[in-house]
Amino acid sequence: MGHLDEVKEILNTLRVAMSINFGILVILIGSLIKRYDSQKIDYIFWIGTLFVFILLFTIVLIIRKISTKTKEIKEL
């Protein structure tokens, strides 16, 4: 496998990971809103809120990595 194919495969994997993270984020935020509306603000709510921020941080890291790999493809 050539270097270009390897970089493209990594880029596709990163895009899939980003899509999965966005899906989890949407479901989690929906669940947190439902708990908030039900006035069930307990430790599960706060753990979910913390997890939302962790997911956002992970998505930012993946986007930066995608940008790096895209620039790497441009240079090849």
pLDDT in tens, 27-67: 999 999 999 999 999 999 999 999 999 999 999 999 999 99
Query: Could you list the residue range(s) of the whole structural domain that residue 17 is in?
Result: 3-75
Distance separating alpha carbons of residues 42 and 28, to the nearest angstrom: 15
In tens, the pLDDT along 14-26 reads 999 999 999 999 9
Long-range Cβ contacts of 49-55 (<8 Å, 24+ apart): 52/25, 52/28, 55/21, 55/24, 55/25, 55/28
pLDDT at 2 over 90: no
CB atoms within 10 A of CB 14: 19
Domains held by the chain: number = 1
